[in-house]
Structures are given as structure tokens and as C-alpha cells.
A and B are shown apart, each in its own frame.
Chain A
Amino acid sequence: DSGVTQTPKHLITATGQRVTLRCSPRSGDLSVYWYQQSLDQGLQFLIQYYNGEERAKGNILERFSAQQFPDLHSELNLSSLELGDSALYFCASSPRAGSPLHFGNGTRLTVT
């Protein structure tokens, strides 16, 4: 158990809808990272937050947004969903810069 909690584990929704994925980092970890893993793309970095502030951005679509709250949990919002957004979404956390990332077990999103 990495200590990173992601909810829900599974999510099935229709095209055009909006969903919110939640991540609770390990206790004391200030950084949260979001990754997307689809069958044909591997693990792709989306975005990083550090103590509530956006720190780095990867290949995140404009339809996607994230935030980190004062209690350090993070949410990834996906809107106007398309079939191609079906993927595993992982959250990871680390206590400080340069520390290893620890990953949750992901949310499997299926868009029908």
C-alpha cells in the first residue's frame, strides 16, 4: 500500500459528460502528480501541484483541469469527455522536490 488513495476505482460515463477524480496524497506529501495511461500511449504526465500551486504542466488537454486544496488532496476534472479519454488515471505524491513519487492504484475511466 503506497498510502496514496484514489477514488473512485472505476467510472463509466457517456461522451460529453464531466467527471471528477479525487486523490488523497500520503500524509505530509506536498506534491501531487497526475498521469494518464491509455493502451497506446503509456504513462503520460499531465500536471503537478505543490502545496496548492500548479508547478508543472504536461500534455494536459484544455478540457482537463486540476487543483490541490488546502488539505493537500487533489482533484482532476475531465469535461466534454470523448471516447479517447478512456484510460487509467494515476495520482502520485512526494514529500519534497527530488523525493521518489509514490503512486495510487488509479481510477479506470471508461467513456461510452
Chain B
Amino acid sequence: DAKTTQPPSMDCAEGRAANLPCNHSTISGNEYVYWYRQIHSQGPQYIIHGLKNNETNEMASLIITEDRKSSTLILPHATLRDTAVYYCIVRVAGSNFGNEKLTFGTGTRLTIIP
């Protein structure tokens, strides 16, 4: 799996958009970008994933650059409950026997400031 690079920490004011960057310059054509977050010591929570098109769901938007070497997760109106560690993960698409796991890095600790 391609490796990802994220800033170790970020702050964002409550109510503003939180933009979390991720570099994945060695991503392959058949690899998706996944975002998860972990609030305190709870289980990681799936947020969104995409291959090359921008994606949006009820939680967030995912913007992937045209060359797919980087992406940005956008939380449009951050609340205090969005304070968490956010993980950007690259994962092979579809069935890849023995390699379907998610490999977590150290993530970005996002703090929402009141």
C-alpha cells in the first residue's frame, strides 16, 4: 500500500471549514483514498473514500487532485465533536486476497477551538 503523509496536528475554529491535507505521492492507479477518524479512544469511524473524483457525503467532502498525489478532507462546519485524530489511508480497490486491511499511520490530531 502507498504511504501517506499528514501534518501531526491542526486547529480549526468552531463553525469554520476544517481542511485536512494528505500526501500520497506513490499512489497506484488501483488504490483508493480512505479517511477515518478516531475520537478519544473510540473505534475508528469511517468518513469517506474516493478513487479520483471528488466525493461528498453527509459528513465531509473529499477533494483529490488530478494527479491523485494528494487529497484534502473538508469538514464544512466544524463542531467541537469533530475534535479527533484523522487518518488518511490508501487501500487497494476491490478484492485483493490477503491485502484488504487498512494500514493506519499516525494521522492528524484536529482540535476544534470554541
Residues of A bordering B, CB below 8 Å: 2, 4, 31, 33, 35, 42-43, 45, 48, 55-56, 58, 88, 90, 92, 94, 96-98, 100-106, 108
A42 to B46, CA, bound (A): 17
Contacting pair B106 A42 (CB below 8 A): yes
Contacting pair A33 B101 (CB below 8 A): yes
The contact string, 1 if C-beta is below 8 Å from chain A, for chain B 74-94, is: 000000000000000000111
Main secondary structure on chain B at its contact with chain A?
loop
For chain B residues 91-110, which have a beta carbon within 8 Å of chain A? 92-106
What are some 19 contacts across the A-B interface (CB < 8 A)? A33-B101, A35-B104, A42-B104, A42-B106, A45-B102, A45-B103, A48-B100, A48-B101, A92-B43, A92-B44, A96-B95, A98-B92, A98-B95, A100-B49, A101-B46, A103-B46, A105-B42, A105-B43, A108-B41
The answer to whether the Cβ of B25 comes within 8 Å of any Cβ in the partner chain is no
Contacting pair A97 B100 (CB below 8 A): yes
Q: Which of B49, B95, B106 contacts A97 (CB 8 A)?
A: B95
The contact string, 1 if C-beta is below 8 Å from chain A, for chain B 56-90, is: 00000000000000000000000000000000000
What 14 new A-B contacts, CB under 8 Å, besides A35-B104, A101-B102?
A4-B43, A31-B100, A33-B102, A42-B105, A43-B44, A45-B101, A45-B103, A55-B98, A88-B41, A98-B92, A98-B100, A101-B46, A102-B46, A103-B45
* Contacts between chains A and B (CB distance < 8 A), count: 62
Q: Which of A2, A42, A56, A103 contacts B100 (CB 8 A)?
A: A56
A49 to B102, CA, bound (A): 14
